[in-house]
A and B are shown apart, each in its own frame.
Chain A
């Protein structure tokens, strides 16, 4: 399964997972079977508006089937859920750590947005 993780930095598996989604600097796209990954810049990072929507669209287009992020706003959430993508909320840690937590079923799967619109702007 291909999973997208919102990241604060680009330092491989040790990268700190981001608390925000739409305007996080990078996304890790990782295949859980092979642990092969790539880190891509978030194209929505500097969007004037609708960053969450654009970031969610990016993840959909990259073919991910799940997302791990610290938070998820309402518009990003609706795009991801319409795309059938599960969203997991992490509680901090490196990409590797939050991925491990997801794999061992210790992360909460979001059934509603975890943050208000524009929370990542603050």
Chain B
């Protein structure tokens, strides 16, 4: 089972929920529960878990190299490039690396076979363990703007084809390509939000993304919950999304968080809540599976 934690707004508690949820599940399902930090631009879930990292793998992309002796300046590659990474000027093809998406179209289309490819490292994947919990993360190289290839490689590296195990994917904030790439192929989307106008605004965007693109069964966690919860509840109700859990706004929890501690270790009541949350998610994904078959 693959559960993606998303939020829209940053700082709502995605990583906190992901780490605590994974920790609780791993107690029940040791060695087959994974926390996968897909926020490759700033992975930080490891702070809560202090995993021992035992394996690393580089993520590379293939860039075109144009052989000037074979190139006849026909311009086919320039016309094939969707990203304006190539230009034909003065009888030569110019290549702009920053714009290249490494799609390989130019290499394929070149009628002279004048384009070969060279690997460039764009990120690093790591995996290891923290007690019973397995852990993986991806890191985008500094200076690169596209996190999606790193997320795609990370998921491919960690998720087995049969999906046996429980995989908690901690996504980046927002609702753009990296979040789409993380949600893709998941069984459940858990949206962590906070009862503020900003939390609501960005929640709407990511809920809409799921509705239009994936239709995953989904639920909401209200973090820093309090008197303003109706703000989120109204939208949840209108969208037919259940509020599955609330974590109250509490100084004690905030202090535990800011010193890098898992909240479930500090607050037994929260551990029970999270155990129930996982059961509800299991129930909802099964419901959905039955509904999809019929």
Contact = CB atoms under 8 A, between A and B. Distances in A.
B100 to A, nearest CB: 10
Interface stretch (A4-12, A63-71, A74-82, A100-108): A74-82
Interface in A69-112: 75, 78-80, 82-84
Contacts of B78: 57
Contacts of A49: 83-84, 99
A26 B84 CA distance: 19
Q: Which of B78, B87, B88 has the most CB of A within 10 A?
A: B87
Given A75-B96, A79-B94, A82-B94, A50 B84 contact: yes
Given A75-B96, A79-B94, A82-B94, A51 B89 contact: no
Contacts of B90: 82-84
Interface string B90-122: 101010100100000000000000000000000
A117 B101 CA distance: 18
B84 A53 contact: yes
A42 to B, nearest CB: 13
A4 B78 CA distance: 21
A80 B89 contact: yes
Interface string B61-95: 00000000000000000100001110111101010
A84 B89 CA distance: 8
Nearest to B84: A50
A32 to B, nearest CB: 22
A12 B267 CA distance: 73
Interface string A36-76: 00000000100111110110110010000000000000010
Contacts of B88: 57, 60
A44 B84 contact: yes
B96 A82 contact: no
Chain A interface main SS type: helix
A117 to B, nearest CB: 8
Contacts of A60: 87-89
Nearest to B78: A57
A54 B88 CA distance: 10
B92 to A, nearest CB: 6
Interface of A: 44, 47-51, 53-54, 56-57, 60, 75, 78-80, 82-84
Given A50-B99, A57-B89, A60-B89, 10 more contacts: A50-B83, A51-B84, A53-B87, A54-B84, A57-B87, A79-B89, A80-B89, A82-B89, A83-B89, A84-B89
